[in-house]
């Protein structure tokens, strides 16, 4: 090749350590922070990044992928033959139709009358109920969303009075909230953020406290899941939303009480991600007190906040704090069968499995993931934590464990049949 030719960017592939450094920097993490989350020191991370230490075994690589929120394992390893999506799914078949509905730019028209507010509310209630009861909730919700998005937008455009417009904006924000559940772990992060931002704007226009709280709850989650560099933004959203809602609580209905409780737990969740044990459990305890102000059978249709969910939340806090023994204790104290939502019950099983894995009980972790798959296959299929555990155990020393992990990997679409 001539000396002045454009160099081949793939001739000298990026080393594993360099990839770790790039991904760590992108997440806004220091070496000490990453090392702490990995159970090592900052100097260990430096050794990996500089090449002084060789590429670790699969178990450690998968743990790095989890901590760095790597979406495709090949992005971390550099081996394009290892194409495994971890924190994002392969893309649901209904994603293109939902994307098209979100991206559409409908102009004001009176050609088609807007649906009545009561009709939209009934359809949304049906959609939430379907999400909680169907094992294939993404497929069901994905089929409903395009029509809901179009009709809710039409209702806003054709509202004749300020009151009608606020009601329509509340419905539109709720549709966007439902859309965020469908878009989570799908391969279109920009679309998820577009929906989150539109949902927050519509909520603010609605001037409805419950709607504003739900939009804030989802926005805080989006920030937190974007990595440590966004934790401050997540805290700011929850803090501002709670500051707005708190004066209303003495006279609030169950929905507003529940969303305030859900936001309080979110603050604890983010604190747990930071490793702030005392703050995390303090927020959880406050949220539990708020849950006990609700009727025993109450279950919030969006956040799942309820008395029944607090045990599941305790497991998540312990897992995020990387406390294996405490995770197992909280799992034993919780009762997944009291959670009426299939996807939320499956998510709880996945969190329990993470706890068992942390506690050195991989066989129980696999059995718990099998329960998650039974509750809602479409939840575990798109969950990166579940995928990491399954992939790690496909290389276990125990032949029986390898067999069970491989069978579950096939069900999740991680391995060819």
**Rounded-to-integer distance, Cα 214 and Cα 202, Å:** 11
**Rounded-to-integer distance, Cα 61 and Cα 141, Å:** 34
- Both 49 and 98 in a single domain? no
Sign of the C-alpha dihedral computed for residues 186, 188, 190 and 196 taken in this order: negative
| Residue 155 confidence (pLDDT) | 94
| Residue 83 confidence (pLDDT) | 54
**pLDDT for residue 97 is more than 50:** yes
- Both 195 and 102 in a single domain? yes
**Rounded-to-integer distance, Cα 344 and Cα 336, Å:** 9
User: 399 or 62: which carries more pLDDT confidence?
Assistant: 399
- Both 58 and 98 in a single domain? no
**Rounded-to-integer distance, Cα 47 and Cα 404, Å:** 35
CA atoms within a 13 Å half-sphere pointing along the CA-CB vector of 313: 28
**Rounded-to-integer distance, Cα 165 and Cα 106, Å:** 17
pLDDT band, residue 6 (cuts 50/70/90) = very low
- Both 69 and 95 in a single domain? no
- Both 132 and 71 in a single domain? no
pLDDT band, residue 39 (cuts 50/70/90) = confident
Query: In this structure, is residue 86 part of a structural domain?
Result: no
Mean pLDDT, residues 77-90: 62
176, 207, 238 - which closes a domain = 207
Q: Could you tell me the CA-to-CA distances from 371 to 101, 109, 347, 375, 415 in Å, in that order?
A: 34, 49, 10, 6, 20
Query: In this structure, is residue 383 part of a structural domain?
Result: yes
- Both 70 and 95 in a single domain? no
| Residue 18 confidence (pLDDT) | 83
Question: In Å, how far from its chain's centre is CA 178?
Answer: 13
Tally the domains of the chain: 3
**Rounded-to-integer distance, Cα 412 and Cα 308, Å:** 28
Domain containing residue 60: CATH number = 1.10.260.40
pTM metric for this prediction: 0.81
148, 177, 207 - which closes a domain = 207
Owning domain of residue 344 = 332-417
- Both 113 and 176 in a single domain? yes
207, 227, 250 - which closes a domain = 207
| Residue 105 confidence (pLDDT) | 82
Query: In this structure, is residue 229 part of a structural domain?
Result: no
pLDDT in tens, 201-238: 999 999 999 999 999 999 999 999 888 889 999 999 99
Query: In this structure, is residue 246 part of a structural domain?
Result: no
**pLDDT for residue 7 is more than 50:** no
Query: In this structure, is residue 9 part of a structural domain?
Result: no
Query: In this structure, is residue 288 part of a structural domain?
Result: no
72: β partners: 85
**pLDDT for residue 417 is more than 70:** no
What backbone torsions phi and psi does residue 72 show, to the nearest 5 degrees?
A: -125, 125
**The two structure tokens encoding residue 260:** 């305030």
Query: In this structure, is residue 96 part of a structural domain?
Result: yes
**The two structure tokens encoding residue 243:** 């500051």
H-run or E-run covering 83: none
- Both 63 and 103 in a single domain? no
- Both 114 and 179 in a single domain? yes
Query: In this structure, is residue 373 part of a structural domain?
Result: yes
pLDDT in tens, 12-33: 457 888 888 888 887 778 898 8
| Residue 108 confidence (pLDDT) | 66
| Residue 8 confidence (pLDDT) | 40
Q: What is the mean pLDDT of the chain?
A: 89
- Both 53 and 149 in a single domain? no
What backbone torsions phi and psi does residue 252 show, to the nearest 5 degrees?
A: -80, 155
Question: In Å, how far from its chain's centre is CA 90?
Answer: 16
pLDDT band, residue 200 (cuts 50/70/90) = very high
């Amino acid at each position: 090749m001539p000396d002045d030719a454009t160099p081949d960017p793939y001739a000298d592939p990026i080393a594993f350590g360099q990839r770790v450094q790039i991904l760590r920097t992108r997440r806004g993490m220091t070496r000490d922070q990453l090392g702490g989350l990995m159970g090592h020191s900052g100097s260990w991370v430096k050794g990996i990044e500089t090449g002084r230490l060789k590429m670790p075994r699969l178990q450690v690589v998968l743990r790095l992928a989890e901590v760095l929120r790597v979406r495709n394992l090949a992005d971390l390893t550099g081996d394009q033959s290892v194409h495994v999506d971890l924190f994002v799914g392969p893309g649901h078949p209904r994603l293109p139709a939902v994307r098209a509905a979100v991206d559409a730019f409908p102009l004001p028209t009176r050609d088609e009358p807007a649906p009545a507010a009561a009709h939209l509310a009934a359809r949304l209630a049906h959609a939430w109920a379907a999400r909680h009861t169907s094992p294939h909730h993404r497929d069901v919700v994905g089929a409903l969303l395009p029509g809901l998005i179009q009709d809710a937008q039409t209702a806003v455009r054709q509202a004749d009075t300020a009151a009608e417009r606020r009601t329509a904006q509340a419905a539109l924000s709720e549709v966007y909230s439902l859309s965020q559940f469908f878009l989570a772990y799908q391969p279109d992060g920009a679309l998820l953020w577009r929906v989150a931002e539109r949902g927050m704007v519509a909520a603010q226009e609605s001037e409805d406290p419950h709607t504003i709280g739900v939009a804030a709850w989802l926005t805080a989650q989006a920030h937190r899941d974007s990595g440590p560099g966004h934790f401050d933004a997540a805290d700011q959203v929850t803090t501002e939303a709670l500051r707005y809602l708190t004066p209303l609580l003495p006279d609030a209905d169950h929905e507003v009480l529940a969303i305030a409780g859900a936001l309080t737990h979110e603050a604890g969740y983010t604190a747990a991600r930071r490793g702030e044990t005392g703050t995390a459990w303090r927020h959880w305890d406050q949220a539990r007190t708020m849950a006990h102000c609700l009727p025993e059978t109450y279950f919030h249709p969006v956040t799942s906040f309820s008395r029944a969910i607090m045990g599941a939340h305790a497991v998540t806090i312990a897992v995020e704090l990387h406390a294996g023994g405490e995770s197992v204790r909280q799992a034993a104290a919780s009762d997944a069968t009291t959670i009426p939502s299939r996807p939320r019950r499956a998510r709880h099983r996945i969190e329990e499995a993470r706890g068992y894995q942390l506690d050195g009980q991989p066989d129980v972790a696999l059995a718990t993931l099998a329960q998650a798959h039974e509750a809602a296959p479409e939840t575990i299929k798109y969950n990166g934590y579940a995928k990491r555990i399954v992939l790690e155990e496909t290389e276990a020393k125990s032949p029986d464990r390898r067999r069970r992990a491989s069978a579950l990997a096939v069900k999740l679409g991680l391995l060819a049949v």
